[in-house]
Chains A and B, each alone.
Chain A
Amino acid sequence: MTDLPDLELTLPARAENVGVIRHVLGAVAETLHVGDEQLDDMRLAVSEACANAVIHAYVDGAGLMEVRVRARMTDLEISVRDHGGGMAPRTDSPGLGVGLPLMATLAASMELIAPEGGGTEVRMRFPLPHESAGGPPRPAEHGTVTPGTPPAPGSADDARPRPLAESRERHP
């Protein structure tokens, strides 16, 4: 099993690309059978994170933003990272200052990370419905999970990836 996320997008941190990410999240939600309300929350929170990258990360120029999506058994982890100057107070901020509280409210959990190499990473987790594109949890294989009984948040089983990637590695 690879450690790569299920989806990684690297885009120019420009306002028009926030729409691209919102659109792609629709495909992720569709695949994972996420409900409309949950998708709205995800879109709003991720849009806020991306907007922060667009507005605040590269004050003096252009740069990239990275969005990573990783599906786990009970939740979806979405991180938004930029390579800008990092978190710093701005007296001239054009925003209302409600972005971070909004993200924290909409996501089941949110972390602000200062990654190696600079920039800012916002990592959010959203609960997923029990049924998924990869099928229900596989109790026979893992032993500790029964369908309809999701593992406790933060447990080892909770962190297991959903089978969204082909695990085979063939060398033709």
Chain B
Amino acid sequence: MTLGEPPAAASTPDPAAGRLDRTRATIAVGPLLAPVLARLVGMHAARAGLTVDRLDDAVLITDALADCAADALGASHLELSIQSAPGRIELRVGPLRPGAAQRLVDGTALPDTGPLMGLLADEVRVRVGAGGDEILLLRVDAQPSGPELASAG
């Protein structure tokens, strides 16, 4: 897990710029967020060939994300993009206001365990754009990596 990556030279991606290799979603923070995120991510994870256990981990991450979005974002909508490739799925949440990415991660913390995202994702990274906006990058691989993930079962 990597957190607090220094500011990147490149600015955050333009949310209006469409890319042909990913799905971009803007979802109202409210009752739609968790079920829509779960289905989107579940579908992409299945397409990426993740096992049922890893697919479940990815959905658990989105559930946690949806759960703490209202408090962490301070915005009415959550923007994210999903990219799947054989053996992995990657979520880019944002652009977010400064500090919101860390609040999202911290918001998923469990007592005595730490942030759920760090336990379940193979990579948790915050990219800071030139304007200060942040992108929270979460990657789930078909095979979990790292001692933390192994202990998370």
Are A and B bound to each other? Answer: yes
* A residues in contact (CB < 8 Å) with B: 2, 4-12, 16-17, 19-20, 23-24, 26-28, 30-31, 62-64, 133-134, 163-172
Chain B residue nearest to A4 in the complex (CB): B77
Determine if B74 and A27 form an interchain contact, defined as CB atoms under 8 angstroms apart. no
Give A26 to B29 CA distance when docked, in angstroms.
Answer: 18
Q: Contacts A16-B47, A19-B43, A172-B99: A166 and B35 contacting too (C-beta < 8 A)?
A: no
Q: A30-B35, A64-B18, A169-B74 are in contact. Are A6 and B43 (CB under 8 A)?
A: no
Q: Contacting chain A: which of B20-28, B112-120, B140-148?
A: B20-28
- The distance from the CB of A27 to the nearest CB of chain B, in whole angstroms, is 4
In contact, B28 and A27 (Cβ under 8 angstroms): no
CB pair A20–B43 under 8 Å, yes or no, is yes
Q: Chain B: how many interface residues by the 8 Å CB criterion?
A: 31
The answer to whether B31 touches A169, judged by C-beta atoms less than 8 angstroms apart, is no
The prevalent SS among residues of B at the interface is: mixed
Q: Which residue of B lies closest to A172 (CB)?
A: B74
Nearest Cβ in chain B — how far from A38, in angstroms? 17
21 A-B contacts (beta carbon < 8 Å): A4-B28, A5-B26, A7-B26, A9-B23, A9-B40, A10-B18, A10-B25, A11-B24, A12-B20, A20-B43, A23-B40, A24-B36, A27-B35, A28-B32, A28-B35, A31-B32, A163-B30, A166-B70, A166-B76, A171-B74, A171-B97
Q: Complex formed: what's the CA distance from A19 to B44 in Å? A: 11
**Chain A residues whose CB sits within 8 angstroms of the CB of B43 once the complex forms:** 19-20, 23
Report A-chain residues with C-beta under 8 Å of the C-beta of B24.
9-11
